[in-house]
Amino acid sequence: MTNTRAMGKMNKVVIPRFKRIMNSLCLLFLVGILCICPKMNIHAEAVANGSMNSNLTGTTDERTNITDPGTADSGDELKKLNIANTVTVTYDNGNGNVNGSLRILITLTLIALAPILIIMLTSFTRIIIVLHFTRNALNTQTAPPNQVIIGLALFLTFFIMNPVIQQVRTEAIQPFDQGKITQQEAFTIAMDPIRDFMYGQTQTKDVRMFMEISQTEWTGNLDDIPNAVLIPSFIISELRTAFIIGFLIYIPFIVIDMVVASCLMSMGMMMLPPTTISMPFKILLFVLADGWNLVIGNLVRTFY
């Protein structure tokens, strides 16, 4: 026991001293290496009388810049690659007012905002809510699944919004790519068809409500409604319309539930859930009436 304690005390004293000696040796070794190495001169690129500095690698006739800085006399010369070790991005031969890098940034931003724009500024909201009400009214839980409902809503949205998309492409995107209009003009022209679509589906009372909240006078014209007012007004109107359609879809299925519940109670089968018995009758009624054709057809016609 005594020997173990003595060894422990010795380790506590010897180990720190050994570490300090090793650190000192490493420091001396590093200083010796720095003293032995020869001097290294670092030269910046220098150009005198059109020739390269003799300390640089390569021949004196070779240069990394194709043309001297500040020698461009026209826009076409500025578009050319001037420094050999740089990368430039051009789009449509440099037409328009935004260079390639900014176009890529704007494109990525629009891709990130595309889901919000598709959901809020198109017919997608009304369609997806009506399809959701239809599935709940049938009481089929996950049939059709969410992926099918969302996919169907997207394709119906593209079908309904196709005239608007074509108008935006023809009047705004193509002229902007050709350099005929500026970026601000393209944005304004692109918003006009979308605003016309939203205004046609928006109720007047919703517009008046947001105009009163923003303390803005409205003469009744579309041009006097800012986008900050028109977009929320359109969304509120879409929600109202979708819930009204959903209520109308629920009515025949509620009648089936009431009839089945009354029959079960009259038969004394109170412990049997009515929804379990009524679901096959709902599906049968929906199939016999060609429900998907009626729901989808009338839903699409609400936008025309």
| 203 CB-near residues (< 8 Å, 6+ apart) | 233, 237, 240
Q: How confident is the model at residue 217 (pLDDT cuts 50, 70, 90)?
A: confident
Q: How confident is the model at residue 130 (pLDDT cuts 50, 70, 90)?
A: very high
Cα 60–Cα 70–Cα 52 angle in degrees, nearest 5: 10
Contact, 84 vs 65, CB < 8 A? yes
What is the value of pTM for the model shown?
0.61
Mean pLDDT, range 244-253, rounded to an integer: 90
Residue type for 4, please? T
Neighbours of 215 (CB within 10 A): 6
Mean pLDDT, range 87-94, rounded to an integer: 48
Q: For residue range 251-285, what is the model confidence (pLDDT) as tens digits?
A: 888 888 888 888 888 887 777 777 778 888 888 88
Q: For residue range 199-213, what is the model confidence (pLDDT) as tens digits?
A: 888 888 888 888 888
Nearest CA-CA partner of 274 in 264, 285, 282, 284: 264
Least confident of 46-60, 190-204, 290-304: 46-60
CA distances, 285 to each of 148, 215, 288 (Å): 22, 51, 5
Q: How confident is the model at residue 41 (pLDDT cuts 50, 70, 90)?
A: very low
Q: How confident is the model at residue 245 (pLDDT cuts 50, 70, 90)?
A: very high
d(CA 137, CA 272): 20
Mean pLDDT, range 169-178, rounded to an integer: 84
d(CA 185, CA 172): 8
